[in-house]
């Protein structure tokens, strides 16, 4: 991994969080356990790694990014920082739950208890801490109650309310909000050389999440899946059944004659990428039907296609489709059967949100 400067300098937005952490370190008020709460892709893990740099920096102006402590933190050297992510559970569903296993938490607990062989802080980052099962959370609680000196735990969570209250009470919470789209767009262009139109679309679709925007803008597989999904959904007004089946296959990562299998997405379920793309697509169509100009369209690289699509549906139908997408997302977060959720969703989208029983439409949808 290439190391270039302090990690905090790579953070987009979140100045209040960085100021608070700097003040904690400078005044000797570092918490032994933090909660970084906010949406995925907003930079919580990056800030946690930057905190490890700040705590272990030996430079004159910490974090310097070039001393041994900073380099080890950036490289995630186990004696300085460890990052734990939830593990995908076994099963046949393409959308499998990710949970922290109690065995992994026990291994962390044993590591924390070991005497360090070097001076400095050890930082443990537990990503998506809301995925801790009760037994795993109670095991972690023992470490939170009596953490060793010079040890800092950072729990990140999108849904902090899902954490046990006994765990929450032992954490110092810092909130990560969404980052303004123009700031993310400028960062993509200036720091990563992303083309202007691509940067604008990625920043808007990511909805304030720089990490998600960067991946969409620079990962060909992610951009290809977005393109494939939007190509299919654009046809749903003309051929509901064919379009619905094709996009459902893409979501579940399966193969069909029409769709083929898409490249690996680097760990993010294809369903998540499709939901994001589709919510913005329907939002764009609804805005146009409500009289907004093309300047309000997020998918500006497909403005003409969105405008044509919008004319196929009434505003009420588009609103119903947005509601159906949001319901599907909630069901998937509750670990509902992905295949069933997708089937129900696509029947709703193919009907334009109309209820089953509309004879002419049903004949199109079910063939």
3-state SS string over 327-359? HHHHHHHCCCCHHHHHHHHHHHHHCCCCCCCCH
**53-92 pLDDT, tens per residue?**
999 999 888 999 899 999 999 999 988 999 998 886 655 4
**Is the domain of 149 the same as that of 227?**
no
225 vs 245, which has greater pLDDT?
225
In terms of pLDDT, which residue wins out, 251 or 289? Answer: 289
- Count CB neighbours of 346 within 10 A: 24
Across residues 261-279, what is the average pLDDT? 60
- Tell me: do 51 and 135 sit in the same domain: yes
Instruction: Strand 81-84: give its sheet, edge to edge.
Output: 81-84, 122-126, 151-157, 33-37, 172-175
pLDDT, residue 341, reads: 83
For residues 64 and 148, state if they share a domain. yes
Q: Which domain holds residue 347?
A: 219-366
- Looking at per-residue pLDDT, the higher value among 78 and 93 belongs to 78
Q: Is 305 exposed, middle or buried (0-12, 13-18, 19+ CB in 10 A)?
A: middle
In-domain check, residue 199: no
What value does the mean pLDDT of the chain take? 82
267: confidence class by pLDDT, cuts 50, 70, 90? very low
Q: Indicate the pLDDT class of residue 142, thresholds 50, 70 and 90.
A: confident
CA angle 315, 320, 321 (to 5 degrees): 95
Closest Cα partner for 315 from 280, 353, 355, 361? 353
Strands 172-175 and 33-37: parallel
Residues 278-284 have a mean pLDDT of: 90
Of 287, 303, 291, 322, the closest CA to residue 230 belongs to: 303
Q: Are residues 157 and 225 in the same domain?
A: no
Give the CA distances from residue 305 to residues 184, 234, 312, 320, in Å, rounded to whole numbers and listed in that order.
25, 7, 11, 20
Answer yes or no: do 287 and 168 share one domain.
Answer: no
119 and 234 fall within a common domain: no
- Evaluate if residue 171 carries a pLDDT over 90: yes
Tell me what pLDDT residue 18 has.
95
Are 244 and 352 contained in the same domain? yes
Indicate the DSSP class of residue 323: H
Secondary element (H or E) of residue 157:
strand 151-157
pLDDT value of residue 250: 57
- The verdict on 136 and 264 lying in the same domain is no
**Of 31-40, 246-255, 268-277, which gets the smallest average pLDDT?**
246-255
Rounded distance between C-alpha atoms, residue 67 and residue 59, angstroms = 6
Q: Give the ranges where the chain is alpha helix by DSSP (H).
A: 15-26, 44-56, 68-74, 102-113, 134-145, 165-168, 181-192, 196-205, 210-218, 220-233, 240-252, 270-289, 303-310, 315-333, 338-350, 359-366
Higher-confidence residue: 8 or 238? Answer: 8
Total structural domains within the chain: 2
pLDDT given for residue 127 in this prediction: 93
Do 231 and 340 sit in the same domain of this protein?
A: yes
More confident residue, 232 or 15: 15
120 domain-assigned: yes
Check whether residue 167 and residue 251 sit in a common domain: no
Within this chain, do residues 343 and 290 fall inside the same structural domain, yes or no?
yes
Which among 200, 155, 198, 196 is positioned nearest to 181, based on CA atoms? Answer: 200
In this prediction, residue 242 carries a pLDDT of 57
pLDDT of residue 263: 30
Indicate if 148 and 224 belong to the same structural domain.
no
The DSSP call for residue 153 is E
**Final residue of a structural domain among 120, 143, 175:** 175
Query: Which stretch of 73-82, 232-241, 261-270 has the lowest confidence by average pLDDT?
Result: 261-270
**Structure token pair of residue 93:** 């569903």
For residue 107, the domain's CATH number is 3.40.50.300
Q: Which of 14-18, 117-121, 256-260, 283-287 has the lowest mean pLDDT?
A: 256-260
- Residue 78 included in any domain: yes
pLDDT given at position 351: 73
Q: Is residue 190 part of a domain?
A: no
């Amino acid at each position: 991994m290439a190391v270039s400067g302090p990690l905090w300098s790579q953070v987009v937005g979140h100045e209040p969080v960085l100021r608070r952490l700097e003040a904690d370190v400078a005044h000797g008020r570092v918490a032994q356990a933090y909660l970084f709460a906010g949406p995925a892709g907003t930079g919580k893990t990056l800030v946690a790694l930057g905190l490890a740099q700040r705590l272990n920096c030996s430079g004159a102006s910490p974090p310097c990014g070039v001393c041994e402590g900073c380099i080890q933190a950036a490289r995630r050297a186990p004696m300085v920082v460890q990052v734990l992510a939830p593990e995908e559970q076994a099963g046949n569903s393409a959308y499998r739950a990710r949970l922290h296993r109690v065995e992994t938490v026990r291994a962390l607990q044993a590591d924390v208890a070991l005497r360090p062989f070097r001076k400095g802080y050890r930082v443990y980052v537990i990503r998506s801490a809301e995925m801790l099962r009760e037994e795993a959370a109670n095991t972690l609680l023992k470490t939170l109650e009596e953490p060793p000196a010079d040890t800092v735990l950072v729990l990140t969570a999108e849904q902090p309310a899902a954490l046990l209250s006994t765990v929450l009470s032992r954490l110092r919470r810092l909130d990560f909000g969404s980052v303004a789209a123009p700031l993310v767009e400028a960062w993509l262009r200036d720091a990563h050389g992303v083309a202007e139109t691509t940067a604008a679309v990625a920043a808007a679709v990511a909805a304030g999440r720089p990490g998600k925007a960067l991946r969409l803008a620079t990962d060909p597989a992610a951009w290809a899946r977005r393109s494939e999904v939007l190509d299919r959904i654009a046809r749903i007004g003309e051929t509901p059944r064919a379009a619905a089946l094709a996009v459902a296959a893409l979501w579940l990562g399966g193969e069909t004659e029409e769709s083929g299998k898409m490249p690996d997405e680097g760990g993010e379920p294809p369903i998540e990428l499709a939901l994001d793309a589709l919510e913005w697509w329907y939002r764009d169509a609804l805005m146009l039907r409500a009289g907004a100009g093309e300047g309000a369209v997020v998918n500006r690289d497909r403005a003409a296609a969105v405008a044509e699509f919008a004319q196929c549906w009434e505003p009420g139908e588009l609103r119903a489709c947005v509601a159906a997408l949001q319901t599907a997302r909630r069901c998937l977060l509750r670990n509902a059967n992905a295949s069933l959720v997708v089937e129900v969703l696509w029947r709703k989208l193919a009907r334009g949100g109309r209820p089953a029983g509309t004879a002419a439409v049903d004949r199109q949808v079910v063939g």
